[in-house]
Amino acid sequence: MSERDLRAVGDRESNMDEVATKIIEILKKNMKEPSDNIGLETPLSDLDIESLDLAVIVFDIEDTFGIEIPYNANEEVEDFATVGSVVDKVNSIISETKASGAAA
Amino acid sequence: MTNTNGRRRVVVTGQGVVTPVGTDVPQFWSALKKGTCGIGEIKGFSTEDLYITIAGEVADFNPRDRLTSKQLLLADRYSQFAGCAAQEAVRQSGLEVPLEGDKSYRAASIIGSGIGGLTTLELSYRALFKENKRATHPLTLLKSIGSSAAAHVSIEYGIKGPCFGVVSACSTATHSVGLVYRMIREGLIDLGLGGAAEASLAWGSTRAWQAMRVLSPDGLWPFSKNRNGTVLAEGGGVLLLEELEHAKERGAPILAELIGYGMTADAADMVNPSIDGASTAMQMALDDAGISASDIDYLNAHGTATAVNDINETRAIKRVFGKSANDVSISSTKSMHGHCLGGGGSIEATAAIMALNDNFVPPTIGLSEPDPECDLDYTPNAGKKRDVSYSMSNSFAFGGLNAVLVFGPDPT
């Protein structure tokens, strides 16, 4: 692995931490009784989050990261199964957005 | 035969609609019978930066062709829809207008809207904040208020009794009609125009709906396995209700009897409907009508094509109808005219009345593969002939606001 690749991995990891932390903050902000034990493995279904809450959370995430997340409350989406899957989805959208921004 | 225990009976003597599939009742009904879809790519405003680009728009609507009142020609589009629908209902009923003397105080104009002149507000704010205009149009305020349609209609026909708008999101029109019914029955008035209109299709309001993540980007397919949300539409409907003896005396056409009205609130959640609220409203309407669920031949469902509504409504129907749930012909005409929001209830009540007059059940289009959890007879894809003596129309709104009407045959 070249030094450049290593740096990219490092960026991604530190990025992951920052994204995850922000997303957990957003989740807690939208919970009535925020739990301190939210990790990447935590299913959203454990967090007392209903469909309208999810729309609000998706909005907050979009607003925070300046991205657009495709989400339809009428459809079951795997991306919204756990905190970690949301973090992965947001990271992939951020990198797509950056890539298309760089190309433009 | 309905037992009214000597109470005043209420009949429908006129109806009018403006919808994406027809701008009067004959056009509308003929389109529903044929299974015409009025949903398409939005033409009325730029959909730049929106991912929802479809709606049910009322195309080719020129108020000048229909309305004579200068005040209505300057009003918001929602008031113009209401004005046209009221005019059609009044003309059909043969009522001598404007009402004069005591008669004018024995009449009501209860015309609501989910949100009133929202488009007027949106365009005015855009002019002020974005285009830096120095002033807004002097009629901005009057066009925007949610009681302007009711007021315009009262001015047009000399209605000097109860006049105001009802607000209950997507149950607005049904509550309005129900309220006029109760006013007539209780002796407050002898006749009244009841209904609602909505014309809130605009960039900002679509953006707001889009953010709720409940709209389909493709189409409105109630009860279908493939449904993925509702589709916004615009339109309005107005019924002229009249006390039976009053209608007979003046030889008015009697289209149907309004025999039952039920209303409840879920008192639970702003968006997730409850079976209790919906089923109790239906049962109340049946009890008010003095008939059984098994007497209902046609049910115009709320059927919004959201994941939650269609399953909840199906379960509520099963609870109320029991064994006869499989015998009633159901359809969601929203599959054709779209979700006309506050205006939907009176448009759909008109479909329920026409089903009764024409002995025809309009279809639910786009229903090739039903959701396994939605397993009733939704009259898929093609309408059918059926003797319809009694029909029901359901409206269930955000906030858990439920209203149900039951119509029966001309009692004379």
Question: Is B246 marked active-site?
Answer: no
pLDDT tens track for B135-182: 899 999 999 999 999 999 999 999 999 999 999 999 999 999 999 999
Alpha-carbon distance B219 to B223, whole Å?
A: 13
Report whether B368 contacts B341 (CB < 8 A).
Answer: no
pLDDT tens track for B46-97: 999 999 999 999 998 999 999 989 999 999 999 999 999 999 999 999 999 9
Helix (H, G, I), strand (E, B) or coil at B236: strand
Report whether B357 contacts B340 (CB < 8 A).
Answer: no
Residue A74's domain spans which residues?
3-103
Nearest to B229 among A52, A54, A72 (CB): A72
Q: Is A32 on the interface with B (CB under 8 A)?
A: no
CATH 3.20.20.120 fits B261-401, yes or no: no
- The b/e string for B204-233 (b: 16+ C-beta within 10 A; e otherwise) is bbbeebbebbbbbeebbbbbbeebbbbbbb
Mean pLDDT, chain B, rounded, equals 97
Distances (CA, A) of B353 to B37, B118, B256: 20, 30, 7
Contact A58 B213 (CB under 8 A): yes
Residue in the structure block whose two tokens are 């951020």: A94
Helix (H, G, I), strand (E, B) or coil at B404: strand
Cα dihedral B66, B172, B284, B269, rounded to 10, equals 150
Beta carbons within 8 Å of B335's beta carbon, 6+ residues apart: B37, B220, B221, B222, B303, B305, B363, B364, B365, B366, B367
Element spanning B192, H or E? strand B191-198
Beta carbons within 8 Å of B383's beta carbon, 6+ residues apart: B32, B33, B34, B35, B331, B360, B361, B362, B363
Chain-centroid distance, C-alpha B310: 18
pLDDT tens track for B92-128: 999 999 999 999 999 999 999 999 999 999 999 999 9
Q: Check pLDDT > 60 for residue A104.
A: no
Q: How far is B215 from chain A (nearest CA, A)?
A: 8
Share of chain B above pLDDT 90, in %: 97
**ipTM > 0.85, yes or no:** no
Check residue B1 and give its pLDDT. Answer: 44
Q: Per this entry, what is the length of chain A?
A: 104
Contact B308 A50 (CB under 8 A): no
Beta carbons within 8 Å of A103's beta carbon, 6+ residues apart: none
Dihedral sign for Cα atoms in the order B93, B95, B99, B100: negative
Q: Which residues of B touch A74 (CB under 8 A)?
A: 214, 216, 227-229, 306-307
Confidence tier at A50 by pLDDT (50, 70, 90): confident
Q: Which residues of B touch A52 (CB under 8 A)?
A: 212, 270-271
Question: Is B170 marked active-site?
Answer: yes
Give the residue ranges of DSSP H helices in B290-387. 307-321, 334-337, 344-358
Report whether B282 contacts B341 (CB < 8 A).
Answer: no
Check residue A45 and give its pLDDT. Answer: 87
> Of A72, A75, A76, A79, which to mutate for an interface test with B (greatest number of B Cβ within 10 Å)?
A72
Contact A74 B272 (CB under 8 A): no
Q: How far is B124 from chain A (nearest CA, A)?
A: 26
Q: How far is B398 from chain A (nearest CA, A)?
A: 12
Which of the following is catalytic: B170, B175, B246, B340?
Answer: B170
Q: Check pLDDT > 90 for residue A34.
A: no
Alpha-carbon distance B306 to B97, whole Å?
A: 42
Q: For residue A30, what is the domain's CATH number? A: 1.10.1200.10
Contact B216 A71 (CB under 8 A): no
**Mean pLDDT for the stretch of residues A74-96:** 91
pLDDT tens track for B360-408: 999 999 999 999 999 999 999 999 999 999 999 999 999 999 999 999 9
DSSP codes, B107-174: EEEEEE-SSSSHHHHHHHHIIIIIS--S---TTHHHHHSTTHHHHHHHHHHT--SSEE----GGGHHH
Q: Check pLDDT > 80 for residue A3.
A: no
Q: Which residues of B touch A51 (CB under 8 A)?
A: 213, 271-272, 308
Is B68 or B322 the better-scoring residue by pLDDT? B322
Q: How many CB atoms lie within 10 A of CB A47?
A: 19
Contact A55 B211 (CB under 8 A): yes
Share of chain A above pLDDT 90, in %: 49
Residue A74's identity, in one-letter code, is N
pLDDT tens track for B221-232: 999 999 999 999
Q: Is B339 on the interface with A (CB under 8 A)?
A: no
Residue in the structure block whose two tokens are 């459809």: A75
Q: Is A51 on the interface with B (CB under 8 A)?
A: yes
Q: Is the pTM higher than 0.90?
A: yes
Q: Which residues of B touch A75 (CB under 8 A)?
A: 228, 307
Q: Is B213 on the interface with A (CB under 8 A)?
A: yes
The region of weakest confidence among A53-57, B31-35, B303-307 is: A53-57
Question: Is B302 marked active-site?
Answer: yes
Tokens for B409, please give them.
Answer: 């045959």
pLDDT tens track for B26-55: 999 999 999 999 999 999 999 999 999 999
Number of Cα atoms under 13 Å in the Cβ half of residue B205: 23
Beta carbons within 8 Å of B174's beta carbon, 6+ residues apart: B345, B346, B349, B393, B395, B403, B404, B405
The region of weakest confidence among B60-64, B192-196, B357-361 is: B60-64
Q: Which residue of B has its CA nearest to A59?
A: B211
Dihedral sign for Cα atoms in the order A77, A83, A84, A90: positive
Q: Which residues of B touch A67 (CB under 8 A)?
A: none
The region of weakest confidence among A24-38, B189-203, B234-248 is: A24-38
Nearest to A74 among B51, B272, B307 (CB): B307
Confidence tier at A6 by pLDDT (50, 70, 90): low
CATH topology of domain B10-249: Peroxisomal Thiolase; Chain A, domain 1 (3.40.47)
Tokens for B211, please give them.
Answer: 């953010």
Name the B residues in 74-103 with CB < 8 Å from any A CB.
Answer: none
**Mean pLDDT for the stretch of residues B293-302:** 98
Share of chain B above pLDDT 70, in %: 99
Closest CA to B401 of B280, B303, B289: B280
Phi, psi of B7 (to 5 degrees): -80, 160
Domain with CATH 3.40.47.10 in chain B: 10-249, 261-401
Nearest to B227 among A50, A59, A74 (CB): A74
Q: Which residues of A touch B229 (CB under 8 A)?
A: 72-74
Residue in the structure block whose two tokens are 């001015």: B155
Check residue A16 and give its pLDDT. Answer: 53
Q: Is A55 on the interface with B (CB under 8 A)?
A: yes
Which of the following is catalytic: B175, B246, B302, B337?
Answer: B302
Q: Is A48 on the interface with B (CB under 8 A)?
A: no
The region of weakest confidence among A12-16, A94-98, B37-41 is: A12-16
Q: Which residues of A touch B270 (CB under 8 A)?
A: 52
Please report the number of interchain residue pairs, chain A to chain B, with beta-carbon separation below 8 angstroms.
37
The structural domain count of chain A equals: 1
Residue B320's identity, in one-letter code, is V
Beta carbons within 8 Å of B179's beta carbon, 6+ residues apart: B110, B166, B194
Strands B191-198 and B235-243: antiparallel
